[in-house]
A and B are shown apart, each in its own frame.
Chain A
Amino acid sequence: MNFSTQDLDHLANLAHLTFSDSEKVAFASQIDHVLGYMGKLSEVVIAPSVLAAMPVPQMQLREDVVTPSAIPFLAENAPDWDAASNAFFVPKIS
């Protein structure tokens, strides 16, 4: 692999993260090392019969019933809450 600080910048933008300049160098090197190790997966050969034999996990969905919401707790935990309009305040979009 050859994971660079530019790659990290791109992914940080996708993931809504920030890194300091010193973090960037260390992270890029560590992630490059880890991704290199992941490369061993390409060596694993899997017979199609194995994949076909695997059941798809099933989830049990409950009825879509409206239950009381937790507005008081929203207010308690919100960084910026407007009680008059029951709304979160955020900075302008751009």
Chain B
Amino acid sequence: MSISQLQDQYRRGEITASAVLDQTYARIDSHDGEVKSFLFHTRALAYEIAGEVDARLAKGKTLPPLAGIPLGVKDNMHMSGEKTTCASKILENFQAPYDATVIARCKEALMLPIGKLNMDEFAMGSSTENSAFFPTRNPWDFSRVPGGSSGGSAASVAAGFVPLSLGSDTGGSIRQPAAFCGVTGLKPTYGRVSRYGLVAFASSLDQIGPLGRSVHDCAYLLDAISGHDARDATSANLPATQVVAHLAMSQKFLKIGIPRELIGPEIDDAVKACVESAIRWYEQQGHQIIWCDMASFSAAVATYYIIAPAEASANLSRYDGVRYGLRDKKADTLKTMIANTRGHGFGAEVKRRIILGTYVLSSGYYDAFYAKAQQVRSLITYEFQQAFQNVDVLLTPTAPTTAFAFGAHAQDPLAMYLADIATIPVNMAGLPALSLPCGFSDGLPVGMQIIGRAWDENTVMGLGHQFQLGTDYHTRVPAIGSVA
């Protein structure tokens, strides 16, 4: 059910928030045993807020647009009094001492927080196989991954457990799982949404964003969580977005750029065919298609896997067993305790990235790796700036393939990293980008990505919304509950 439909039902007094919660948890209890999207539920908090919504409804008070709408939250954002595990053993019992700004804003909006969602440990991965607890399954095919790292966020929406969820995106972690699970996901401009209370992975790249069944639904959540926050020094001094209002306006004719580098041989033919079909659709609506070259994209993956691990190695140094989290209690010296705690508490991918980050920042390698990567990051940003002098948006596949099978890249981390080829350049430049369904291949969803100028979520989401008004890919749902 869309947000608009739920809002209508509330307005007409046909439902209560408590009843919506009953239905939500009943569906989760019946089917999340198969999908495994939630790590745990936050029922007490959800029913407390639902009670407030129902009380206000009973008094005939006007409610905020998202009041009574269920929300899933990736488990790397703090919700006061609940656990924040980051799907890691090292934080298995950590209790969040405060609300992340996005959570505070969702509570203010009277949304119903259903629970915390599975993810790759510390958001490092593209499949949710790196969760220390269990992998999440793709609702379209349980033998395949949901993508990652926000795999639980995408799978919970695709399975119809929640209409909206929050994810975080450092190199594609909202958009790639959205593509794999056939839902819509937005990585906003860096600085658009406060990162206060988001557990840091790579601070210059991390950004929180919405996932939902449609662009329209995601716009509601973006409007609720965006806007300046003094507690995040990188939060832009801008008011909250008003994308929902913008979507009601008629769509202008745009110049749509297609980077040749992302429609080449590294993209599966079936994915390419769906994206090319979407390009033709836009052309038929009167938009102008312009092919362009983004040569630096070929170096984007290498750049990202230097910068992100470098930042991660610093950010994750705080997990030392001293102040919170896991502690190795057998060690008899401080140094051994810290090393053993981290050695046992972190999973393989996290350890791999800490080592990579430590290597590229270490004496003798800094200039060749980290300093060079920062320069290439500038080049990528520059190429985007040049491209946006000629086009309004760029359109690409979100991922080179559809959802892959569990274990497909287990022994080859580099192959997994290369799956981020289309999403990584966007984080490098801090731009907004949307992934939305644009077709199916062998029963699996295909996603396309629309990239915009910094702060231009209106154009990006407007174009995505136009596609969803004219197509039905986003309305298709997997047969959870009726087909194994």
CB distance A15 to B372 under 8 Å? no
Is A54 a contact partner of B299 (Cβ separation < 8 A)? no
Q: Is the interface of B mostly helix, strand, loop or mixed?
A: helix
A30 cross-chain contacts in B, Cβ below 8 A: 352, 412-414
A40 to B300, CA, bound (A): 10
17 contacts between A and B (CB under 8 A): A11-B358, A16-B320, A35-B356, A37-B414, A38-B302, A38-B305, A41-B373, A42-B368, A50-B378, A59-B233, A60-B233, A77-B94, A77-B323, A90-B334, A91-B334, A93-B335, A94-B335
Residue of A nearest to B383 (CB): A50
- How close is A10's CB to chain B, nearest CB, in angstroms? 9
- Chain A residues near B317: list those with CB within 8 A: 15-16
Contact flags (1/0) for B366-404 with A, using CB distance below 8 Å? 001100110110110110000000000000000000000
Which listed residue, A17, A37, A74, touches B355 by the CB 8 Å rule?
A17
Assess whether B94 is in contact with A17, with CB atoms less than 8 Å apart: no
Closest 7 CB pairs of A and B: A18-B343, A73-B97, A79-B327, A77-B324, A59-B233, A54-B378, A15-B358
**Beyond A31-B359, A40-B302, A70-B97: 9 further Cβ-contacts under 8 Å?**
A23-B351, A30-B413, A33-B412, A41-B373, A44-B299, A50-B382, A61-B233, A91-B331, A93-B334
In the complex the two chains form, what is the Cα distance from A87 to B281 in whole Å? 64
A53 beta carbon closer than 8 Å to chain B: yes
Residues 319-352 of B at the A interface (beta carbon under 8 Å): 320-327, 329, 331-340, 342-344, 346, 348, 351-352
> Residues of A at under 8 Å CB distance from B?
7-8, 11-12, 14-19, 23, 27, 30-31, 33-35, 37-38, 40-44, 46, 50-51, 53-54, 57, 59-62, 70, 73-74, 76-80, 88, 90-94
Q: Which residues of A are found within 8 Å of B358, using beta-carbon distances?
A: 11, 14-15
Which of B305, B332, B343, B359 has most chain A Cβ within 10 Å? B359
A16 to B351, CA, bound (A): 10
A-side contacts of B414, CB under 8 Å: 30, 33-34, 37
Chain B interface size, as a band, is: 35 or more
Question: Are A73 and B379 CB-contacts (below 8 A) given A41-B369, A44-B296?
Answer: no
CB neighbours of A50 from chain B (8 A): 378-379, 382
- The verdict on A11 contacting B362 (CB below 8 Å), with A19-B343, A38-B369, A41-B302 known, is yes
Q: Which residues of B contact A12 (CB under 8 A)?
A: 339, 355
Q: Which of A11, A18, A94 contacts B342 (CB 8 A)?
A: A18
